[in-house]
Structure 1
Amino acid sequence: MNGLLGYLADPWQHVFMQRAFLVAAMSGIVSGVIGTHVVLRGMAFIGDAVSHAVFPGVAIAFVLHTSLVIGGAVTGLLTAIAAAVFSQNRRLKEDSVIGVFFAAAFGLGIVVLSTAPGYSGSLESFLFGQILGISDRDVTTVAVTGAVLLAAALLLHKELVAVSLDRETARALGLPVFALDLVLYALVTITVVISLQAVGNVLVLALLITPATCARLLTDRIGVMMLLAPAIGTLSAVVGLYLSYTYNLAAGGLIVLVATGVFVACWFLAPRHGLLAGLRRRRSVGPAARRPAAVGS
């Protein structure tokens, strides 16, 4: 027992690990809540697209020697607004417009970055995460920003869910669908930006989508899903950090792999929607379906 307690307590003796655990947990909570809306809406692609959209802002901020986080947030939001505006044309599907604008943003980032020699090493933390190098200021920024995001998601929960489930009905009920689209894009963009330090640009989609997808397998109730997704995201982040500390491996990658492991377990073992539950239903329905035929014959 002492061995287990010692293992759990050891990382907390280091200030850099304390910061890492706090940011990882907060990123997991916020990503789980916002990711639930993304999964309900069937817009998993937007997480990957937004992570590309913040890239030009990060590149410009790097060239100008300003905050990478602020730069990424600004261009991510501008690109998200552009995608939301052009998506109002019913001839175009939302994912197609998102693909156009966010790919263009990533291309712009590459062009801007090519003007700054020696950039690759400096942006490694942006691409792959650097959660063990987080400062007290970063912790505060993530905490404050995360609290604002959660408050906005709670305030607009019913409206966002209504638009996610049936846009036309929501519009008929008088809901401002376009404004809610902008809000969701903004929430996703800021969530991606504050999660970059935890897992990096390359892996941020997993933190946004995987916990919410696990929750989707475990429950049919949106309220319960909203609780399960952040719990799974936080658990994945904390376990990934412990593994990173123990085996001296990349924290961002391990966080994502733990979340993926939870998803695989849910896919097999979810009580109603898992593979094993489906097999049990087929076995129980099979004999029952055959009995009437036998009696009739």
Structure 2
Amino acid sequence: MIWWLEAVLVGALGGLVGVQVVLRRLSFFTMALTHATFPGVVAAAILGLNIYLGGAAAGLIVAGAVAVLSRRRGQNTAAVTGVLLSGGFALGVGLVATQDGFGIDLSEFLVGSILTVTGRDVATTAVVLALSAMVLTVLARPLLFTGFDPAAARAAGVNARAVDLTLLVTIELVVVTIVPAVGTVQALALLVAPAAAARLWTDRLALLTPLSMGFGVVSGAAGLAVSTRWNIAAGAAITLSATAILLVSLAATRTRAVRAAPSRQGSPVRQAAASPG
């Protein structure tokens, strides 16, 4: 029962925050965030601390650095994110190299293991889901302004840097929360795929968020069902389910557009408009 509840909560959480990741084109940042947590994980493992707390600390540093550096004049957000991604991962590798016979298994952090989650993990996911929903609700208007019309946001007195930093920290918190279930390597798909699929079906933000969360929940539940039925790694199965939803949505919406095109072209209004004189 705990596994299923965690799968549903993780899917809903990924779908909720993934809308902002997709709309604000933060997929690359999110991928960088999952990889840049590596030095924090290694450092925590060396010190005998909780590796997820170590990863969270490293991710918060990266999120803050991106928010600050990307706002400097002449700085490109993608360039800053790419450098921090490479630098963070290199730092983790360097820390491993300093330890002779580093024998700590980090595979669970990399690929996840939802079958080992505890009641505390489920409670944590539920709390983070509630907090994320609250943050996105409170900041709904500032996020809309800064995401689609930064000039209007500045004119309205919105503190864009504070809004960006809050969103980046929220994404980092979500990444760390879903890592036990799907791992850092696969976390990006659960954040991006449901929202990207929902974006194919609607342009309305009021519908986009619940649809994305629904796709996320289906991904989590379906992935766990496939894992249980065919003995496939749960994290991989959940990721593949989210990917399948995106591909099916892409195919379905494309087919619908192709079928609708002839009817629009052949409508009396269009024919009258196209006829000379």
Q: Which residue of 2 aligns with 1:7?
A: none
Structure 1 gaps, min length 5: 1-17
Q: CA deviation at 1:286?
A: 3.4
Write the distance in 2 (CA, Å) between the matches of 1:148 and 1:296.
60
TM-score by length of 1: 0.87
Write the distance in 1 (CA, Å) between the matches of 2:15 and 2:275.
52
Structure 2 gaps, min length 5: none
Write the distance in 1 (CA, Å) between the matches of 2:195 and 2:273.
43
Structure 1 residue 33 and structure 2 residue 12: aligned? Answer: no
Residue from 16, 22, 30 that aligns with 1:47: 30
Q: CA deviation at 1:118?
A: 5.1
Counterpart code for 1:96? A
Counterpart code for 1:278? A
Q: CA deviation at 1:153?
A: 1.7
Structure 1 residue 159 and structure 2 residue 131: aligned? Answer: no
Q: Which residue of 1 aligns with 2:262?
A: 283
Write the distance in 2 (CA, Å) between the matches of 1:146 and 1:53.
23
The verdict on how the C-alpha distance between 1:295 and 1:213 changes in structure 2, with shifts beyond 3 A counting, is closer
Q: CA deviation at 1:57?
A: 1.0
The verdict on how the C-alpha distance between 1:295 and 1:56 changes in structure 2, with shifts beyond 3 A counting, is closer
Counterpart code for 2:171? V
Mapping 1:1-297, distance limit 5 Å: 18-117=1-100, 119=102, 122-269=105-252, 274-288=253-267, 291-292=271-272, 296=276
Counterpart code for 1:281? A
Give the conservation status (yes or no) of the 8 Å contact 1:43–1:95. Answer: no
TM-score by length of 2: 0.93
SS in 1 for 2:176: helix
Q: CA deviation at 1:284?
A: 2.0
Q: How many residue pairs were aligned? A: 276
The verdict on how the C-alpha distance between 1:19 and 1:102 changes in structure 2, with shifts beyond 3 A counting, is same
Counterpart code for 2:81? I
Alpha-carbon displacement from aligned partner over 1:56-84 (angstroms, at most 9, x marks no partner):
11111111111111111111011110111
SS in 2 for 1:82: helix
Q: CA deviation at 1:265?
A: 1.3
Alpha-carbon displacement from aligned partner over 1:255-285 (angstroms, at most 9, x marks no partner):
111111111111122xxxx211221232123
Give the conservation status (yes or no) of the 8 Å contact 2:265–2:271. Answer: no
Write the distance in 1 (CA, Å) between the matches of 2:8 and 2:265.
45
Counterpart code for 2:8? A
Write the distance in 2 (CA, Å) between the matches of 1:50 and 1:146.
19
Percent of aligned pairs with the same amino acid: 36
Counterpart code for 2:266? P
Give the conservation status (yes or no) of the 8 Å contact 2:142–2:163. Answer: yes
Give the conservation status (yes or no) of the 8 Å contact 2:45–2:104. Answer: no
Counterpart code for 1:62? A
Q: CA deviation at 1:291?
A: 4.0
Greater shift in the superposed pair: 51-60 or 163-172: 163-172
Q: CA deviation at 1:120?
A: 6.3
Counterpart code for 1:279? V
Write the distance in 1 (CA, Å) between the matches of 2:275 and 2:82.
58
Give the conservation status (yes or no) of the 8 Å contact 2:39–2:55. Answer: yes
